[in-house]
Amino acid sequence: ALKLCRTSRVRRSALPPLANLASSSRRLWAVHMQPLDVRCTQPLLRGIPPASRRLATVGGRTSRNRVAVLLAQTGRQSAAPVRQSAVQELALLASLGHARTEITLAKGDVALVRMLKAVGSDSDPQLLRWVLIALSHLAADESTSLRQNSAVPRMIQLLDSDVATIAEASARALLAAIAAPTCRETMLRFSSDALQRAQALCDASPLSLRSP
């Protein structure tokens, strides 16, 4: 029994400590997994301020982190391509139930409403279109639609946009927002025929924005 105990001690001593194994596993995980997110975000980091850049390099492992990264990239300090790419990805994530919840919890819809009211249709039509698509996905029920009430007048205004894709996107966003009675009242207060115009735009292009 004494000899067996000594042999076990020798064998145990020959093995690397558990702490070293755990450290090695963490390093391997960092090498093999982290670059996936880093590669995705690195091309976009050039136009992002230092504070947002630090956030971007650690985000992306979970939907919550990814949403935080994207919302940081939608700031006015970001370069135009970075901003548009972030809004486009937010629009795509907003079509997924779990990601939509994360965006709403992070007040991403509030940020997008502010952006909608600030961006001109002539200055950046593609950005505006993706903002509208994101908002249409985020208005999933009455409570989330109500958060877009202040954007309803802007959506009505964009129904008359010379850019067809913006007019169509605005129509869909408006129809999604008026699921909340308050938003519907706001729409009727600003325009009596906005609902008919929005429906006509959607009927004229039934496949538009289904596959953005």
pLDDT per position as a tens digit, 64-79: 899 999 999 998 888 9
Percent of the chain with pLDDT over 90: 56
Residue 172: pLDDT over 90: yes
CB neighbours (10 Å) of residue 49? 11
pTM above 0.85, yes or no: no
Question: What is the predicted pLDDT for the residue at 63?
Answer: 85
Contacts of 202 (CB under 8 A, 6+ apart): 168, 171, 172, 175
Predicted confidence band at 60 (pLDDT cuts at 50, 70, 90)? low
pLDDT at 36 over 50: no
Tens digit of pLDDT for each residue in 69-127? Answer: 999 999 888 899 999 999 999 999 999 888 999 999 999 999 999 999 998 877 889 99
Per-residue pLDDT band at 58 (split at 50, 70, 90): very low
